[in-house]
């Protein structure tokens, strides 16, 4: 068995560049299940898979290795899979629970021959969950067996549990460190800036040269100028934004 540093290097090598050789070394030299990966003898029910995916995505990413079974003595045996499960079926089964921003992929590994005898003639599938801190925390979008809509899951040891306060704070801090702003926020600022420019192309008075005189006389407003001024419009948008935020908070 490799030491802890060696195992971490093996996992990082596989996670960054998945290959048959890297998975072989990871299975052979693992030190048991940890936060970043989980062994399963066979595919769990899809709601449970989705729960693990959410936990991994909110905890720096990781993977599920399918085809390695925990024995009664807590050792892990590479038993392999009889057949590869269809990736379209996997996606269909789990995607309804997940946000579209959450990225994962399923890879197939087959060992017709290997210098590690225990995996020769065996098949494994690995579900890799990307680390995308710009979008965390990921929230469940549907109810299922042992998974709750609008819940936030995190990896805790070898399980995926609903996040506690400290775990949620860690997620939020990781997101803030990315400096990320959502596309909708960027678009709002862009549209407001463009709208302000458009307003400058409509004179408030008929004759801009006589604007001061018109103001002193009470001003004759251009009927084409919008009745709702820019500041009032922005104030209304702010109130609508507050409602959206309140609705979002009440659903968590």
Q: pLDDT tens digits for 123-179?
A: 999 999 999 998 888 999 999 999 999 899 999 877 899 999 889 889 988 888 887
Spatial distance between the Cα atoms of 118 and 80, rounded to a whole number of angstroms: 10
Residue 114 half-sphere exposure, CB side, CA atoms within 13 Å?
A: 20
Task: Determine how β-strand 62-66 pairs with β-strand 37-40.
Answer: parallel
What is the dihedral angle through the alpha carbons of 141, 145, 148, 149, rounded to the nearest 10 degrees? 30
Domains with residue ranges and CATH for the chain? 4-178 (3.30.950), 183-250 (no CATH)
Structure tokens given for 187: 């678009």
Predicted pLDDT at 157: 78
Half-sphere exposure of 222 (CA within 13 A, CB side): 15
pLDDT tens digits along 88-101: 999 999 999 998 88
Q: How high does pLDDT run on average in the chain?
A: 80
Check residues 70 and 102 and name the one with the higher pLDDT: 102
Kindly state the helix (H) or strand (E) to which residue 159 belongs, with its residue range.
strand 159-162
Q: What pLDDT score does 76 carry?
A: 85
Averaged pLDDT for residues 215-227 = 65
pLDDT band at 216 (very low <50, low <70, confident <90, very high): low
Q: What is the pLDDT of residues 36-77, one digit of tens each?
A: 888 999 999 999 999 999 999 999 899 999 999 888 877 788
């Amino acid at each position: 068995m490799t030491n802890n540093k060696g195992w971490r290097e093996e996992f990082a090598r596989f996670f960054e560049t998945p290959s048959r050789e890297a998975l072989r070394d990871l299975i052979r030299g693992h030190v048991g299940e940890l936060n970043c990966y989980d062994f399963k003898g066979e595919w769990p029910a899809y709601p449970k898979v989705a729960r693990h995916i959410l936990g991994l995505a909110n905890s720096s990413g990781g993977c599920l290795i399918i085809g390695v079974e925990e024995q009664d003595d807590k050792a892990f045996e590479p038993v392999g899979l009889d057949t590869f499960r269809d990736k379209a079926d996997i996606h269909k089964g789990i995607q309804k629970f997940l946000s579209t921003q959450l990225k994962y992929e399923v890879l197939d590994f087959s060992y017709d021959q290997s210098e590690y005898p225990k995996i020769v003639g065996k098949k494994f599938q690995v579900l890799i969950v990307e680390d995308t801190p710009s979008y965390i925390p990921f929230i469940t979008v549907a109810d299922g067996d042992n998974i709750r809509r609008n819940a936030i899951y995190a990896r805790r040891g070898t399980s995926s549990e609903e996040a506690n306060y400290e775990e949620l704070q860690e997620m939020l801090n990781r997101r803030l460190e990315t400096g990320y702003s959502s596309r909708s926020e960027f678009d709002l600022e862009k549209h407001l800036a463009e709208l302000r420019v458009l307003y400058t192309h409509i004179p408030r008075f008929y004759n801009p040269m006589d604007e001061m005189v018109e103001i002193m006389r009470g001003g004759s407003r251009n009927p084409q100028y919008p009745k709702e001024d820019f500041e009032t419009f922005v104030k209304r948008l702010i109130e609508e934004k507050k409602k959206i935020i309140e609705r979002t908070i009440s659903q968590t």
